[in-house]
């Protein structure tokens, strides 16, 4: 099992706003794709506003910030139930990179 807390390394802790760069409010920074709202009606239903060329949903934007790479490391251990002895995978000081495993949770 992993030993908590996990070690999180961030290259730059101080991220500033990028002047003049705005992104849509529903922009997903993890995948770079737009999230679309699910509609309660069928895919072929457009409504009067769509047919008349009126967009009823107003787009809003938010500020864009600098990005920094993040790496997550964990030490793994096993505890003997009988003696209580703790054994570490590889060694006590070695952390294994688990960034790809925890990326959806970041």
71 near 99, Cβ under 8 Å? yes
Computed over every residue of the chain, the mean pLDDT equals 79
- Residue ranges of domains in the chain: 1-105
Is the model's pTM score more than 0.75? Answer: no
Q: How far separated are the first and last CA of the chain, in Å rounded?
A: 20
Given this model, what pLDDT does residue 72 score? 96
* 93 secondary structure, DSSP code: T
pLDDT in tens, 2-12: 999 999 999 98
**What are the tokens at 2?**
């992993």
Conformational region of residue 28, where left means phi above 0, alpha means psi within -120 to 50, and beta covers everything else: beta
CA distances from 62 to 12, 66, 93, 96 (A): 22, 13, 42, 36
- Higher model confidence: residue 90 or residue 40? 90
- Higher model confidence: residue 101 or residue 41? 101
Given this model, what pLDDT does residue 78 score? 95
pLDDT in tens, 26-66: 655 545 444 444 444 445 555 555 555 555 566 788 888 88
pLDDT of residue 95 exceeding 80, the answer is: yes
Beta bridge partners of 73: 7, 97
């Amino acid at each position: 099992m992993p030993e908590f807390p996990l070690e999180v390394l961030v290259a730059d802790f101080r991220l500033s706003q990028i002047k003049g760069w705005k992104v849509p409010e529903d922009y997903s920074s993890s995948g770079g794709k737009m999230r679309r709202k699910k509609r309660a009606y069928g895919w072929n239903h457009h409504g009067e506003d769509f047919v008349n060329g009126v967009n009823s949903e107003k787009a809003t934007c938010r500020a864009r910030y600098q990005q920094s790479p993040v790496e997550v490391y964990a030490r793994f251990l096993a505890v003997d139930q009988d003696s209580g002895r703790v054994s570490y995978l590889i060694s006590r000081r070695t952390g294994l990179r688990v960034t790809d495993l925890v990326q959806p949770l970041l």
